[in-house]
Amino acid sequence: MLFVLCGAIFLEGIDLAMLNVALPSIRADLGLSTGELQWVMSAYVLGYGGFMLLGGRAADLFGRRRMFVGWLAVFLLFSGLGGLATEAWMLIAARFVTGVAAAFMTPAGLSIITTTFPEGPRRNQALLVYSGTAAGGFSLGLVTGGLLTSIGWRWVFFAPVLLSAVILVAALALLPRADAGEDGAEENGATGAAVGRARRRGVDVLGALTVTGAILLLVATVEGATHTTAARSVTTLAASLALFAAFVVIERRSAAPLVRLGILRSSALVRANVGGLLVAAAFFGFQFIAVLYLQELRGWSTLETSFAMLVLGIDAILAPLLTPRLVNRWGNTRVILGGLVVAATGYALFLPIGMDTVYLAMFPTMLLVGISFALAYGPLTIAATDGIAEEEQGLAGALFYTSFQFGAALGLSSATAVSVAVGGAGERGMLDGYRAALLVPLGAAVLGALVTASGLRRNGPARERAREDAATPAVTG
């Protein structure tokens, strides 16, 4: 089971990484502007983040296996359609639907893990292996994306179709059917009764559409701030905030809310989600600007860029091997804080890039960013689902992934907006824009470290370690 679920998250990682490396080739072939190029990435992120809450709730109510398998098939189909795109809108639309499919598939997979493995060291180990596999997909995708793009960028979309088909067949054979809501069955006891009542009340589709619209408008406001009128930016921002307010009202009045607002009373859960948002904003904003710098300003090939960024995949090794030991020794919060400090250091070291910067000078940043992701991502996943009732594990996972993808969209949009606003004509102007845009990931990492540090001041590291240590005999005894 874990093998199949890791295969799916590996698919997501390799899909994103291959596309990221292929962006300059896609721009050259389809004639995309920088804004359109950013939307090729952001469309997936918005579909993913916008429908994640609905996907997580659907997994809780209608069966995690059913949601995982069904939407994996949709992911397979629209990944292939993206490779057939001849215009920007076709590619953006295909990526959006692919993101929606991932929004239903991913929280279902995560909740299968969190409801199968008991809370404590075994679940933590499984989640760290799971997140490490995602990193492995990303690192392999960087190289594979360069190889495939050298043949033709469309193969970046066709290759995941083959991998998806293999995972789909394995999922049908290996994923457990003993799942709440699967084939009309419900679990026994209080959990099954709660699921049954929620299923009869239905799903909050209006809430899902409202929050998706709010996210879409907010990202569009940031992305368009540098090349639209102030009046239009203010209008879209106001509309976004209004939709967020409407979402809160809908959730308060709904008989079956998409998000039970009481779950947000957990300060640990809120910090984990804010931390995930800022980690994603920094990481995706950095890699987007780094790829453009290496390929469009320095003239590196896609394969050279792939190998230059390959060291980012070191988290695939560290996440399952080193991070569990650190978490057991120091607790989630301190490990996350260490990861964010390492990330901020790495981003700061990349700020002095120039027209003739050698790779040896870039290597420390690539290494530190990879290490930081290994330290932060897995523990954030644990913190976001720890202590949550089984019938809301899909919701908790969806909240975290929504925050993560929302952060990715904002990081991409903000980095693009700063680059366009500051950059000018010629190589010097492009370099100035890239340098300014790199302040976005640096600022996000610093802010994330401050938010995480507030958890230490509130709870104290000793209390956190004691709580996690106390779980060990309960699981093994």
Under a CB-based contact definition with an 8 Å cutoff, are residues 186 and 180 in contact? Answer: yes
The pLDDT of residue 188: 46
**SS3 state of residue 256:** coil
The pLDDT of residue 452: 92
Number of helices and strands in the chain (H, E): 19, 0
DSSP string, 339-367: HHHHHHHHHHHHTT--TT--HHHHHHHHH
Under a CB-based contact definition with an 8 Å cutoff, are residues 42 and 410 in contact? Answer: no
Length of the chain: 477
H or E stretch covering 138: helix 121-151
Distance CA 404, CA 292 (A): 23
Under a CB-based contact definition with an 8 Å cutoff, are residues 182 and 66 in contact? Answer: yes
Q: Measuring CA to CA, which residue among 296, 324, 294 is closest to residue 307? A: 294
Report how far apart the first and last C-alpha atoms of the chain are (Å, whole number).
24
Distance CA 206, CA 403 (A): 19
Is the pTM higher than 0.85?
A: no
Residue 424 class from Cβ within 10 Å (0-12 exposed, 13-18 middle, 19+ buried)?
exposed
Distance CA 151, CA 138 (A): 20
For every one of its 477 residues, what pLDDT tens digit does the chain have, with 9 covering 90 and above? Answer: 888 998 888 888 888 778 877 888 888 888 887 777 777 877 887 777 777 777 887 887 888 889 999 999 999 999 889 888 888 889 999 999 998 898 899 888 888 888 888 877 888 888 888 887 877 777 777 778 878 888 888 998 998 888 889 999 999 988 877 554 444 444 444 444 444 444 444 567 788 788 878 877 876 776 666 667 888 889 989 999 999 999 999 988 887 787 778 888 878 889 999 999 999 999 989 988 998 899 888 988 878 888 888 888 788 788 878 888 898 888 889 999 999 999 999 999 999 999 989 999 999 999 999 999 889 988 998 888 887 777 777 778 878 887 887 788 788 888 988 888 887 778 888 899 999 999 999 999 999 999 999 888 665 544 444 444 444 333 333
Distance CA 340, CA 375 (A): 8
Distance CA 434, CA 297 (A): 10
Under a CB-based contact definition with an 8 Å cutoff, are residues 295 and 422 in contact? Answer: no
**SS3 state of residue 299:** coil
H or E stretch covering 391: none
Under a CB-based contact definition with an 8 Å cutoff, are residues 282 and 339 in contact? Answer: no
Q: Which residues contact 452 (CB under 8 A, 6 or more apart)?
A: 271, 275, 333, 336, 337, 340
Distance CA 316, CA 335 (A): 16
Query: In Å, how far from its chain's centre is CA 50?
Result: 12
Residue 340: C-alpha distances to residues 116, 128, 299, 333, 405 (Å): 30, 17, 31, 11, 18
Question: What is the residue type of 97?
Answer: V
And the tokens for 437?
Answer: 């845009």
| Helices 439-459 + 461-476 axis angle, to 10 | 80
